[in-house]
Chains A and B, each alone.
Chain A
């Protein structure tokens, strides 16, 4: 049962931005995360501003320079089934296909998937944790089998998005608007680590809206992929996931962007894996080195040391798969 709020569903972006400018409101994209958070009293809000009736936020289209524009409210189903995405930006389709369940993919939007709230069971539950304004992270000394092995600092969540690491790996940029300004935020700089602010997930201000995602043209030789491991084979968040965007020159990896999900409070760029494979052919020794590099420096909690082996295995498997 939801708490009370008022609801506005404007038909234009301008109206939506004006409404967000004028009041403390929460944004409704597809609503899957928002309604869940309200239902669980993660937060309450006076007002909900819905983006669902705004045509300009929809659609997926090629850009003039060979890239791609994905409207903020494009659904995960649309993205998973889009031929150009599957073909040229494979990691994004891979990621969109494994989000949640079919029903949630039909409703959930790409921008919502990027901006969703953490799934930490203390955060979602009836615990006044640090991220919700309380004084401590219950996971640190509690039930932390699903929590982070990198980047924990006061708060030990993992970022729940599957599409964020894929988009980040492929260099996607968010276009962000408010009533007064428009700016670009690269997806790999969208999320806020707890070391900066443990009560904030993104750099977006409350009056700002992601309007679209822009992907640069894939360079020649680009191959990308995303895979996550979960404890239930469907309808589950990542225990561990890896997005790869590798540019090959023959057998040699010319450049690499590697992002992990299920690892850290933000989509976690693994520069160590990137360094281990850049300039190398993906032979067994390189893959083994990259797999070890994936977890170098990890700081597991009491209940999640298994994630080290998991990331090693996952990274190795995905590098083998992308090598072809």
Chain B
């Protein structure tokens, strides 16, 4: 196969890597994309024309809000509704700290646009409390010490809740797979497995929520 090397292509166009790297800064690309037209406007804190109305059902309560389309569900939960149980760890769907239930299914709130959450039932870690009492999964996490620093814990708890809603009697292997979308840097995994298994047992014997 007569394979073209990248260098051939670059040479042909007369543009070199040095040339490219010399010209770009982190800000330069974005600066060209639309800030300039605003320069003469009276400074607006938020542009109402960019806001859209949504109604979000979160932990059984309906919230009517104006949001920017680019706001993630996580942003709205934390910054607009002060539901800070859902944590921001990576904001790109790679850590699991922001896991919430969307119609009973665990999802990353940081990868879910708020406008896309309309019409769905959102449950956060706060929604798993029964009044002020811990829910059964939360209780199991507490009893088994299934956390250390606790930052990923709300996401872990919600992921476990979603797992048990879909599969009330998971095997240990199913727990491990079901919980594999939540990183715990402290490495409390061994205790998390025990906590989820214990919560599942509790539901089997009728003690669940």
Chain A interfacial positions (CB closer than 8 Å to B): 1-7, 9, 28, 31-32, 35-36, 38-41, 44, 48, 50, 52-53, 77, 100-104, 106-107, 126, 128, 130, 134-137, 140-141, 152-155, 233-235, 297, 299
Contacts and interface: CB of A to CB of B under 8 A. Distances in A.
Interface string B174-192: 0001111110000000000
Interface string B115-129: 110110000000000
A32 B111 contact: yes
Contact of A5 (B29, B69, B162): B69
Nearest to B17: A136
Contacts of A233: 180
B6 A39 contact: no
A247 B201 CA distance: 43
Contacts of A3: 30, 33, 70
A234 B34 CA distance: 40
Contacts, number: 129
A152 B3 contact: yes
Contact of A130 (B9, B108, B179): B9
A103 B20 contact: no
Contacts of A41: 29-30
B115 A4 contact: no
Contacts of B68: 4
Contacts of A4: 34, 50, 68-70
B107 to A, nearest CB: 5
A211 B89 CA distance: 34
Contact of B70 (A2, A155, A235, A299): A2
A102 B181 contact: yes
Contacts of B94: 235
Contacts of A77: 105
23 contacts: A1-B91, A2-B72, A3-B33, A4-B34, A4-B50, A31-B113, A31-B116, A35-B72, A36-B111, A39-B91, A50-B115, A53-B119, A102-B162, A102-B177, A102-B180, A102-B181, A103-B159, A104-B93, A104-B108, A106-B105, A128-B20, A152-B3, A155-B6
B4 interface: yes
Contact of B15 (A1, A35, A135): A135
Given A4-B70, A32-B93, A9 B116 contact: yes
B170 to A, nearest CB: 12
B9 A135 contact: yes
A41 B9 CA distance: 24
A73 to B, nearest CB: 12
A36 B93 contact: yes
A101 B181 contact: yes
Interface string B65-93: 00011101000000000000000000111
Interface in B88-147: 91-94, 96, 99, 102, 105-108, 111-113, 115-116, 118-119
Contacts of A136: 6-7, 9-10, 17
A6 B52 CA distance: 9
Please list the 10 inter-chain residue pairs (A to B) with the smallest Cβ-Cβ separation, ordered nearest first: A101-B181, A7-B69, A234-B180, A2-B70, A106-B105, A137-B6, A136-B6, A135-B10, A103-B181, A140-B6
Contacts of B10: 135-136
B13 interface: yes
B96 A135 contact: no
A126 B30 CA distance: 13
B111 A31 contact: yes
Interface string B137-165: 00000000000000000000001001100
B69 A103 contact: no
Contacts of A31: 111-113, 116
A137 B177 CA distance: 35
Given A128-B20, A234-B177, A103 B107 contact: yes
A38 B71 CA distance: 12
A100 B52 CA distance: 31
B171 interface: no
Nearest to B29: A41
Contacts of A53: 119
Given A3-B30, A4-B34, A35-B113, 14 more contacts: A4-B69, A6-B50, A31-B112, A32-B93, A36-B111, A39-B91, A101-B96, A102-B179, A103-B96, A106-B107, A135-B13, A136-B6, A140-B7, A155-B6
Interface in B1-26: 1, 3-7, 9-10, 13, 15-17, 20, 24, 26
A102 B106 contact: yes
